[in-house]
Amino acid sequence: MEENKHVDELDGFMKKYVKDMDIETPSIDFTKNIMNTIHSLENKEVFKAKPLISGKTWFVLGLILVVSILFVSQGKSISELITIPDASRLSSIEIPNISFDITVSNTMLYTCLLFSVMAFVQIYVLKGFFSRRLD
């Protein structure tokens, strides 16, 4: 009940205060000033997307990739470099244990590999989605 009394007192005070206030009127050129402000904001560039990796960086990365491929090949012919391994050789590959006496199962390694591939696919797809959305 006391809460309502307090609210009624505040309501009466606010009504009296609002009645005593003078009515404010905007200046004559108020609309013109607002429109000029809006037009000046329209001329400014709001957002310009910048690539995360510049063209020069892509060029350097590509150059490093080409040089590393040439270094690995060391004068071998393309037919020597591109050979499909036998399936029997793949089964003989053993995955070494990681140091610090941590053993990782093949299932865990395959899961991490699949997770990495899927993360890269998602990054590629999301980049395309947001690029189209910003255009």
| pTM strictly above 0.95 | no
Q: What is the pLDDT of residue 82?
A: 64
Q: What is the pLDDT of residue 116?
A: 92
Q: What is the pLDDT of residue 61?
A: 93
Q: What is the pLDDT of residue 60?
A: 94
What are the per-10-residue average pLDDT scores of the chain (135 residues)? 77 85 83 85 69 90 86 66 62 65 76 91 85 74
121: left (phi over 0), alpha (psi -120 to 50) or beta: alpha
Q: What is the pLDDT of residue 71?
A: 75
Q: Which residue has the tokens 């390694």?
A: 109
CB atoms within 10 A of CB 88: 7
Q: 47-81: string of b/e by CB count within 10 Å (b at 16+)?
A: eeeeeeeeeeeeeeeeeeeeeeeeeeeeeeeeeee
CA distance 135 to 133: 6
The DSSP secondary structure of 9-60, one letter per residue, reads HHHHHHHHHHHHSPPP---TTHHHHHHHHHHHHHHS-------SS-HHHHHH
Q: What is the pLDDT of residue 63?
A: 93
Q: Which residue has the tokens 């590393």?
A: 68
